[in-house]
């Protein structure tokens, strides 16, 4: 029952490219990472289930389960969850090979070092230090696909009928600060279809850029409405945000623009449903479609991600606060938490590394944080799944 040491696991995980991207030319399978994790889990006497995603062939989830000895109990316990994919990278902005773990200035550099393949090295190292004969509750490791794009992996897991952990900890990089709630994410394309024509006779066309100017005006009004109508003090940015992120349209100065498209990003608070938000967006552009019938379309760029809502007084939050010696917080980014929470488990987000490094060139883990983070993860597993006094 042996697994590689911590740094060897880290090196192996970083060396397996598993980029997920909307651009098919960049998108890769995560199977190599899944296979490595599966072998390590089997070495620790876990039963391993590998599932190809229904709507994303070539992408895989791994669910490893280990029950207490001499027990048929298969509900309850702790699930440690993370995603196996990474974002794409800009090679010109990295000072080292993103797929080679590089130690420099007391830091471990590599793509996925904190977001978030490295989390699995922490988890497996911790479990390998515990004596299974003292395990008294189910222990699970979940590794998902495509978190960085569609979250299809977590959404598929949410439909798993026999998976019923009591607790779930998602190891996104929070510097081991427990996160009990976060905002959602909705990205939409607003497409204006006009009529092109020669610029010398404007009345013979419908300029999509001019119509888009009206759309933007109404979106900015919606932005202020969201800011004034909804607020939760736990968040550093206490209101929903709406960002105008990308726009393109037209092809020549002397042609009436026939099509213009704007991409927007909205981050809803807990309590503001995706359905309600989508209706608010449609209501905002309705007067323009009444003036120019069928001119404006709203197209989802990906399936929206709902906000994650937890409680500060839950047993898992209180335990995580005690072990980490840090108060649970709310964050503005989103994770797989709202989907995994659907399994009926108390859920938090808490893992090693800083979110400030996520999606950045030269992504790295500060080595000074390894031992403190490892100790919290080890203690968490012991408290949830072992006879704590005898486990190690």
Query: CA–CA separation, 224 vs 239, rounded Å?
Result: 10
Residue 353, number of CB atoms within 10 A of its CB: 28
Q: Which helix (H) or strand (E) holds 385?
A: helix 370-385
Query: Cα torsion at 35, 37, 41, 46 (round to 10°)?
Result: -70
Q: Which helix (H) or strand (E) holds 287?
A: helix 274-291
Structure token digits, residue 236:
């550093």
Distance set, CA 232 to CA 130, 329, 332 (Å):
41, 12, 11
What is the SS3 assignment for 116?
coil
85 counts as catalytic: yes
Q: Which of 146, 147, 363, 379 is catalytic?
A: 147
Query: CA–CA separation, 160 vs 158, rounded Å?
Result: 6
* Residue 327, phi then psi, degrees to nearest 5: -75, 140
Which positions ≥6 away from 182 have C-beta within 8 Å? 307, 308, 330, 331, 332, 333, 334, 335, 337, 349
Q: Counting Cβ atoms within 10 Å, is residue 305 exposed (0-12), middle (13-18) or buried (19+)?
A: buried
Catalytic residue IDs: 85, 147
């Amino acid at each position: 029952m042996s697994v590689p040491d911590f740094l060897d696991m880290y090196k192996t995980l970083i060396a397996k490219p598993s980029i997920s991207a909307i651009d098919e030319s960049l998108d890769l399978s995560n199977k190599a990472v899944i296979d490595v994790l599966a072998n390590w889990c089997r070495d620790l006497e876990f039963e391993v289930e590998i599932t190809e995603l229904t709507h994303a062939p070539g992408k895989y989830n791994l669910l490893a389960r280990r029950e207490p000895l001499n027990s048929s109990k298969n509900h309850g316990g702790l699930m440690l969850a993370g995603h196996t994919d990474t974002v794409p990278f800009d090679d010109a902005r990295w000072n080292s090979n993103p797929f080679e773990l590089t130690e420099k200035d007391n830091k471990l550099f590599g793509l996925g070092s904190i977001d978030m393949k490295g989390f699995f090295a922490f988890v497996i190292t911790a479990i390998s230090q515990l004596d299974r004969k003292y395990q008294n509750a189910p222990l699970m490791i979940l590794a998902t696909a495509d978190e960085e794009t569609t979250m299809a992996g977590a959404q598929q897991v949410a439909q798993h009928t026999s998976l019923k952990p009591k607790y779930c900890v998602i190891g996104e990089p929070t510097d081991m600060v427990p996160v009990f709630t976060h905002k959602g994410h909705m990205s939409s394309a607003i497409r204006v279809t006009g009529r092109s024509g020669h610029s010398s006779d404007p009345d013979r066309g419908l300029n999509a850029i001019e119509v888009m100017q009206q759309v933007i005006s109404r979106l900015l009004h919606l932005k202020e409405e969201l800011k004034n109508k909804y607020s939760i003090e736990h968040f550093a940015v206490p209101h929903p945000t709406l960002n105008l992120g990308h726009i393109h349209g037209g092809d020549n100065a002397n042609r009436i623009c026939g099509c213009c498209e704007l991409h927007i990003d909205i981050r809803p608070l807990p309590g503001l449903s995706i359905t309600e938000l989508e209706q608010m967006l449609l209501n905002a552009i309705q007067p323009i479609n009444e003036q120019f019938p069928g001119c404006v379309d709203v197209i989802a760029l990906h399936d929206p991600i709902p906000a994650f809502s937890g409680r500060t007084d839950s047993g898992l939050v209180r335990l995580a606060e005690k072990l980490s010696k840090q108060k649970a917080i709310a964050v503005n980014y989103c994770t797989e938490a709202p989907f995994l929470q659907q399994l009926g488990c108390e859920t938090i987000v808490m893992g090693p590394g800083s979110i400030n490094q996520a999606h950045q060139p030269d992504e790295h883990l500060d080595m000074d944080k390894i031992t403190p983070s490892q100790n919290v993860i080890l203690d968490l597993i012991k408290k949830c799944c072992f006879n704590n006094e005898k486990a190690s």
